[in-house]
Each structure stands twice: as structure tokens, then as C-alpha cells.
Structure 1
């Protein structure tokens, strides 16, 4: 897989171990607004969508004003109340360093809002690795291919020169709809069975395995 010029990463559940904090913040937001909180698995399954779309999926009866209220409550819970650590996954930094050494273009396509991505970039000191990014509040939510299509256009990359890395069906469906290759990772949100439905080039169980796949020319798919 040495031929890709552009590697597009999802963020939550792919590079950063933030699933628990997202789930707990979603549950706390529901309780604060006197709604029945989703169970852990229910809340986990919507990670990757834009926040309004995720809220609408979990609480389909809410109208727009309530969704906006929930959005503000979630931001409060995630940023100011919840203290669950959100470290980079083991081997994430090494992977980014070595991809950069190989002169790969790196990008992020995330369900986070721009302010959220900037905050975690600053906390993890990783912004300098990435040539471009797309966030949910400035693009159409996954699994629409808008994020990938606009990244390809900005970076002047052809579809066959790019690969999308993600831990959810939303990431892989987005790639499939954009006509680019994808690699699924199972250590985040969705498992092998769910990810395989979108015909990724590979599915890996760790970032170490992904590192070998992307940078070791001896690995063949």
C-alpha cells in the first residue's frame, strides 16, 4: 500500500482514544435535559456523525430548537465537565511521524466541529502533521462523500491516490461513496463484521498493524 499519496484519517476512535468521553458526555447531556439517556452501546454507535445528526439519531422526536439545546449541553459536558482522559492511541504519533518522513500528504475528516478539532490538536501537538482537514460543522456529515471530495480537490489528488482510515461504518461508507480506498480499524467503535460491509482494502486490529500496512512495501493486499 506504499503507493498512496494522501492518507485521510478519522480522528475519534482512530487516532485518539476518546470514545468513552464522547459516550459519557452524551449520556450526561440527556440526563441534564430530562431525557432518557442512551445506553453505552447506543451512544457509541453514533460516533463519527456530526453532532446534530448524532443527536437526531438517538432522539428522533426532538425538534430543531431542542437539538440545538442538546448540542450546547453536550459541548459543555465534553469540554468543561467530563474529565475522562483522551490520549492518542499507542503508536499513533509514531505512525504520523513516519508517514510524514515518507512525504505522504496527511488529512483529517472528522465528525468533530472545527473548534473541537483545534482543541485536541493543540492538546496533542499534532496539527503540524496535517496538510488539510474537514470538520462536521463546515461539511456535510459522514457518510456523505463531501469531506473526501473537497480534500481531494484542495490537495489536487486523484481518487486512486488516496486512502481513508477509520473505525466506523460512516468512515468506510463515505470512502466507498467517494470512490476511494479505505482501511478499517477495529479498536475504535465498529467491529470487523460491520466494517467489512463497505469493502475496505483491509481491516486491522491495531495502529502497529496499520503502520506496517501503510509503510512496509513487503506487505501486499
Structure 2
């Protein structure tokens, strides 16, 4: 009998292109404190981290504001989500839904999510795109230490019972790659997200892909075939 395999997906920058939403919410959070917004590259560099860790990196000299910046970001993010253009702020990347449906239809493939989003944020994305039933485990920042701590990966493995040697994480940031390596699973970096490919390679990604169409072949090459 073929062993089960587990494919774990990051969300922001991997499955969905949420940068417009993230940047707008971050700008609003800093504006609420009469502070200049971080440069775009700096904001995108912290995508995937838990919000308290992200704010500490973006405003290291303003520890007194970290908690209120987090609160202001959450408020702005939720408000933008409910705006008339809210649905357009977090579209799926091309090919994402097709590959999820393809993998979920395989008898020996299980899917999971490991995201820096809150549970509320992930629930919104699931409602928006309707892919919740495809995943056997969905781990969020509310319940774990921030990436790159491997806690989310460990939870995915426990939920599914899959051997780490038969698991892989797909992500766009060095935090995803470092998290996967810390958990002892394979790692695939995607080049369409928020960290450059060179950074993913330096972080130790086992492979890089330029489109979702390349995922199935890359899984085979890494030794986690269907």
C-alpha cells in the first residue's frame, strides 16, 4: 500500500496575493500613530511572521507602540476586508485552485495549511475561496509561536499521522523554508511571492518552482511521489 504524503501550504504570497491588503492595513496602522509607513519592501519582508514579531521588526525603536500597532493593523485589515473591494484584495495566484483540487483528489495525498494569519483571517480566506474542505489540518498564528518555529508543522504531522519524510511545505518566504527544515521535512520555495528566490535558496530550500504547474513533478523529484 502506498504511504500517505502531506503537502503543507503557506497562504499569503503562496496561495493568495494579499500584498495590496497587507500594505494598505500596515499604512493605516502606522498612520493611526502619526508614524511614517514602513517601506513596501520592509512590510513584505515580514509577511508570514506573527504580528507582534512583525511589528517589533518594523519598528524596533518604538516598543511602546508595538501592541497598539498590532491592534490598529488588525482593525484596518478587518475594515478593508469588509469594504466593497474586499474580495479583490486577496485573489488566488494563477493555478492555485487547480493544483489544490488535483492533489486533494489523490487517495494518498493529504493537504494542510501553516500560516501566519489569525484564525479569523484564515476563516475569511476559506469563505472567500471555498477551499476549506480540501485541508486535513489548518494551523494559524493564534495557536503557535511565530514562524520559523516548527510548531505548526509538528501539529500538521500529528493531525495527519504522516511521516516527516513524506511531508513537504510550499512557501514564499525564508520563514517557511526555515520552519520546514527545523521540522525535518522537505521544502519548496515559490518564486512568485514576497521573498526573492535567492533568499529562499540561501535559506536551504530543497527546490524552487516558478508556477503551480511544476509542483507535481517537483514532488516526485524530491522523493515524495503520489
TM-score by length of 2: 0.89
Give yes or no for the alignment of 1:135 onto 2:140: yes
Between the aligned partners of 1:167 and 1:3, the Cα distance in structure 2 is 27
Give yes or no for the alignment of 1:149 onto 2:134: no
Is the CA contact 2:136–2:159 (under 8 Å) kept in the aligned structure 1? no
Give yes or no for the alignment of 1:100 onto 2:99: no
**Structure 1, gaps ≥5 residues long:** none
Between the aligned partners of 1:33 and 1:132, the Cα distance in structure 2 is 37
Give yes or no for the alignment of 1:167 onto 2:166: no
Off by >6 Å, runs of 4+ in structure 1: none
Between the aligned partners of 2:205 and 2:45, the Cα distance in structure 1 is 19
Q: CA RMSD in A?
A: 1.9
Deviation at 1:195, TM superposition (A): 0.2
Partner of 1:12: 12
Between the aligned partners of 1:122 and 1:169, the Cα distance in structure 2 is 28
**Structure 2, gaps ≥5 residues long:** none
Is the CA contact 2:186–2:222 (under 8 Å) kept in the aligned structure 1? no
Show CA shifts across 1:19-76 (max 9, x none). Answer: 2211221122111211221011111100010111111110113336x32221221112
Show CA shifts across 1:158-195 (max 9, x none). Answer: 11010000000000000111111000001011111100
Q: Aligned runs of 1:48-197 on 2, under 5 Å?
A: 48-63=48-63, 66-81=65-80, 83=85, 85-103=89-107, 104-197=109-202
Is the CA contact 1:168–1:190 (under 8 Å) kept in the aligned structure 2? yes
Cα distance change on mapping 1:210 and 1:8 into 2, 3 Å? same
Cα distance change on mapping 1:38 and 1:175 into 2, 3 Å? same
Deviation at 1:206, TM superposition (A): 1.5
Partner of 1:29: 29
Between the aligned partners of 1:4 and 1:92, the Cα distance in structure 2 is 22
Between the aligned partners of 1:122 and 1:211, the Cα distance in structure 2 is 26
